[in-house]
Amino acid sequence: MEFKKSIVYFYTVKKQLHIPIYRYMYNLRSKTINLFETKKQEVKNHKYANDLNYTLFTTSIVRIRKLHFLLEDFDSFRFVFIDGIYHYNRSLYKIVDLYYERFFSKEVAYLYFTEGAFVEKPIEILYISTGACTKSILFNTRNFIFLGKGSCVKIIESHKNLSLGKEKFSSVTEVYMNADSYLDFCKIKDDRPTTYFFDHTSIIQDNRSYCNINTFSFCGVSIMNFLSIYQLGKEIHSHINGLSILQEHIIHNTLIEHILPNGKSRDIYKGIFDKRANTNFNGKIIVLNEAKKTNAIQKSTNILLSNEAKVKANPQLEIFAEDVKCSHGCIVGQLNTQEIFYLRSRGIPKSEAISKKLFAFSKEVLEWLSFKKLKNLIKKEINKNVIPSRNS
C-alpha cells in the first residue's frame, strides 16, 4: 500500500481536488492503483516476483513480418506494444508491471522500480501501430513510471507506424521519482512524415533526485512535446534537452517548477529546421518563493537551413524567490557559410561539411545522452534528414 500512498501523496500535494479534472484524474488513478495492487498479488508467486512483478495481456493476433528490423538496434530490456497491446513474444524481457487500463489506451507501460533498484541495461518501450486496426485514428499510449528511493533507471521510448495512414500517437507519461532516484529518459519521435505526435509528460521529483530527459524529434507531420517538471523537494536536478531536426511542424512546451530550495535545472533545446518547418518553443521556468538558491538555465538555439523555415521562441521566467540564478536565451541563425567554405577548401564535400557542422551543433545535447548506440543512430539520422535536401 505504500506505493499507492506515495503516488496519491505526490499528486494531492500539488493539485487541488476541487477542480473537476483533477478529481476525475485522481479517481481514475486510485482505481488504477487498486486494480494494480490486486494484480500484483496474483503474480506474487511467480519466479520473477521477488524483485519485480509483472502481469501480461496478450490478446492481439496481429502478425507482423516487417518487425524484425526494428528490434535489433539496441541492447536493452524491450517492451513492445502492438496496436496498444503488450506483446510478450516480441518483448525481450518481462520485468514490468503492466496494467490494463480501459480509459485511455488498451494497455499501459506500467513500470515500478523498487527501492534501490538498479537496472543495468536501458529499458526500451516500443509502440507499434500496424494500421491493421484501420479505425484507430488516434493511437493512445501511456507510460506510468514509478521510481523507488535511490533507484537508477534508463528508459528509451519510441513509436513506429507501419501503416501508410496518417496515424496519430497521443502519448501520456507520468513519472514519479522518489528521493535520490536517477532517471535517464530518452524519447524519440521519428516516424513517417504523415504521423502526428502529441506527447504530454509530467515528472514529479522528490529530494535530491536527478532526471535527464532527452527529446529527439526527427520526423512527423506535427509534433507536440509538452514536458512539465515539478521539483517537489530539495536539491533536485532536472536536465531537459531537446534536439529537433525537422522539415515539418513542431511545438515544444516546457515547464520547470522550482518549489523548494537548492534546485537546479538546465533546459537546452536545439533545432535544425529545413524546408517549411514551423516551430514554436515555449519554455517556462517558475521559481516559487520558497525555492531559494535555485539555479536555472534555459536556452534555445536554432539553425534554419531554408528561407521558409520559421522559429518562434517564447522563453518565460517567473521568479518569486530571492537569491536565485536564472538565465535564458534564444538564438536563431543560419549555417555559417565561411565555416562551410573552410571545410570544403580542405577537400571535404559540401554535404559532409554541412553534416559535420550540424553534428557539432548538436553536440551540446548529445553529450547528455548516455546511450552510445543511440548516439550513433542519431548521427546517421542527422545525415539522413539533412543531407538529401541539401545536396542540390
Partner 1 sequence: MGLLANNIYMLKIENLHVSIEEKPLLKGINLHINAGEVHAIMGPNGSGKSTLSSVIAGKKEYKVTTGIIRFEGEKIIHLSPEERAQRGIFLSFQDPIEIPGVSVTNFIRTSVNSLRKARGLEDMPIHDMLKTIRKKLEIFGMDKNFLSRSLNEGFSGGEKKRNEIFQMAMLNPKLSILDETDSGLDIDALRTVSQGINAFKSKKNAILIITHYYRILKYIVPDFVHVLYRGKMVKSGGKKLALDIEKNGYSWIKPV
Span interacting with partner 1, options 113-121, 147-155, 209-217, 348-356, rule CB under 8 A: 348-356
> What value, to the nearest 5°, has the Cα angle with vertex 345 and ends 341 and 346?
125
**Residue list 277-336, contact with partner 1 (CB under 8 A):** 336
User: What is the dihedral angle through the alpha carbons of 339, 304, 159, 123, rounded to the nearest 10 degrees?
Assistant: 40
Residue 176 binds partner 1, judged by CB under 8 A: no
Which of 73, 115, 235, 339 touches partner 1 by CB under 8 A?
339
At residue 112, the 3 state secondary structure works out as strand
Are the CB atoms for 313 and 330 separated by under 8 Å? yes
**Number of other CB atoms surrounding residue 48 within 10 Å:** 13
Cβ distance to partner 1 smaller for residue 47 or 372: 372
Grid cell for residue 119 = 537496472
4: contact with partner 1 by CB under 8 A: no
Provide CB contacts within 8 A for 307, sequence distance 6+.
none
Closer residue to partner 1, CB minimum distance, 320 or 342:
342
Render the burial of 66-92: b for 16+ CB within 10 Å, e for the rest. ebeebeeebebbbbbbbbbbbbeebbe
Least distance between partner 1 and beta carbon 392 (Å):
13
119 three-class SS: coil
Which listed residue (133, 326, 343, 387) binds partner 1 by CB under 8 A?
Answer: 343
CA angle 215, 219, 221 (to 5 degrees): 115
Q: Applying CB under 8 A, does 379 fall inside the site for partner 1? A: no
Residues 353-372 that bind partner 1 (CB under 8 A): 353, 356-357, 359-361, 363
| 392 interacts with partner 1 by CB under 8 A | no
Amino acid identity of 205?
Q
Q: Which is nearer to partner 1, 310 or 356 (CB)?
A: 356
Query: Residue written as cell 488513478?
Result: 29
User: Is residue 348 near partner 1 by the rule CB under 8 A?
Assistant: yes
Quote the least distance from Cβ 379 to partner 1, whole Å. 12
Contact pick of 342, 370, 373, 389 for partner 1 (by CB under 8 A): 342
Which listed range, 34-42, 175-183, 311-319, 339-347, lies at the site for partner 1 (CB under 8 A)? 339-347
The contact set with partner 1 (CB under 8 A) reads 336-339, 341-350, 352-353, 356-357, 359-361, 363
